[in-house]
Amino acid sequence: MTRWLRPPRRVALLSVHTSPLEQPGTGDAGGMNVYIAQTATRMAERGIEVEVFTRATSSELPPVAELAPGVLVRHVHAGPYEPLDRSELPAQLCAFTAGVLQTEANNEPGFYDLVHSHYWLSGQVGWLARDRWGVPLVHTAHTLARVKNAALAEGDTPEPRTREIGEQQVVDQADSLVANTEMEANDLICQYDADPAKVSTVSPGVDLRQFTPGSQRDARAALGLPRDATIFAFVGRIQPLKAPDVLLHAAAELLAQCRVDRSKLVVLIVGGPSGTGLEQPRALQDLAVRLGIEDLVRFMPPLPGPALAKVYRAADAIAVPSHNESFGLVAIEAQACGTPVVATDVGGLRVAVNDGVSGLLVPGHSSVDWAHALARSAESREKLSVGARNHARAFSWDHTTDELIGAYMQAAVTFRKERSEVAS
């Protein structure tokens, strides 16, 4: 079997702005971190070595760390040893690229079989690495500027034109584009003129070993929550795009409509400020005060998987009120724990949530509509819980990884074909 007709031996995975070693839920760490860590680990289990390149944000980080057997994380020195806003990172792409290329140069020619870039910043680096190393480039956007700008939260900052241009360049150069859903694939084709033959749809997954159904009573006891409470939770980065404020407004509306006993209502907010949310890190706390529900809202920091599973199990419903999501990993994790999800009827959430079966989709962000949906989800929790568990079982990181490897092999075929045509 030739180099091009088998899975790659070694993959260079690029993640400039966030490391899979970071705790999701704050800063720039989110679903992409989970995606990279889970798929890289499973590729290694299948015999594919993975090296993840990410920017070093501290001088205390080792040059190389092991994420899992067969998965190395390389911390590349590019700019100051501190977190940088994504708007500042384009200025560090030259330094980052130099570090990636130097690592390859220290090994035998052909050390990496393929480059997989995540997010457009990494795609810019991958473009050059592809041409320098003579290997295929697979790119996963995770989010797209034109899609985000079409669904901005009120007062949020639009993505800059420089990002749109950079994304277009990566789309034009990549040998394979991996989309999370058919809708994202359609966005790449219709809004970025991507070649349909180069676009693959690979749904993200969920760790079905970690996120499992369990006792709601035990979960509440472990978290110090009232056993008989009505609990709604938001999990994720606190920023306008994710719209956690919608849950607070909905909770106030539930009380105004007398649809829930105030003495039993608890609203959990699990996560940390991120993106433009860093400009007003206490905005949600201040909103809770203005709405008169500050005594009902509990804020928790980002949590690792086992603790996060307890939050999912403890809640009557998980709210995912994002203005846009390429998929929505929180929704799938919650459903895997048997908890219904109430989400905005947008983007990948239409795939992550089976409306009326595993949860409810809400068109828009009206507090009245959200209060109604949350009340319905709590009233129908037992029925929706069964649908949630069944829906989540259709997603797994093993399936995602197998599909990704298939995309890698197809990218290699495309790359070889196009190089042969150029040579002739």
Q: Extract the annotated binding site for Mg(2+).
A: 312-313, 315, 339
Closest CA to 211 of 123, 330, 380: 330
- Cβ-proximal residues to 323 (8 Å cutoff; 6+ apart), any chain: 151, 152, 153, 156, 240, 241, 243, 344, 346, 365
Give the residue numbers of the binding site for 1D-myo-inositol 3-phosphate. 17, 28-33, 86, 119, 143, 163
| Cβ–Cβ under 8 Å, residues 44 and 68 | yes
Backbone angles phi, psi at 10, to 5 degrees: -145, 130
- Cβ-proximal residues to 135 (8 Å cutoff; 6+ apart), any chain: 112, 113, 114, 115, 129, 415
Give the residue numbers of the binding site. 17, 23-24, 28-33, 86, 119, 143, 163, 237, 242, 312-313, 315, 325, 333, 339
Give the residue numbers of the binding site for UDP-N-acetyl-alpha-D-glucosamine. 23-24, 31, 237, 242, 325, 333
Cite the beta strand spans of 124-245 per DSSP E: 137-140, 176-179, 199-201, 230-235
Closest CA to 133 of 161, 102, 160, 157: 102
| Residue 51 Cα distances to 8, 17, 89, 118, 265, angstroms | 13, 16, 21, 13, 46
The arrangement of strands across the sheet holding 176-179 comes to 64-68, 71-76, 49-55, 10-14, 114-118, 137-140, 176-179, 199-201
| Residue 310 Cα distances to 14, 294, 402, angstroms | 32, 23, 29
| Cβ–Cβ under 8 Å, residues 182 and 203 | no
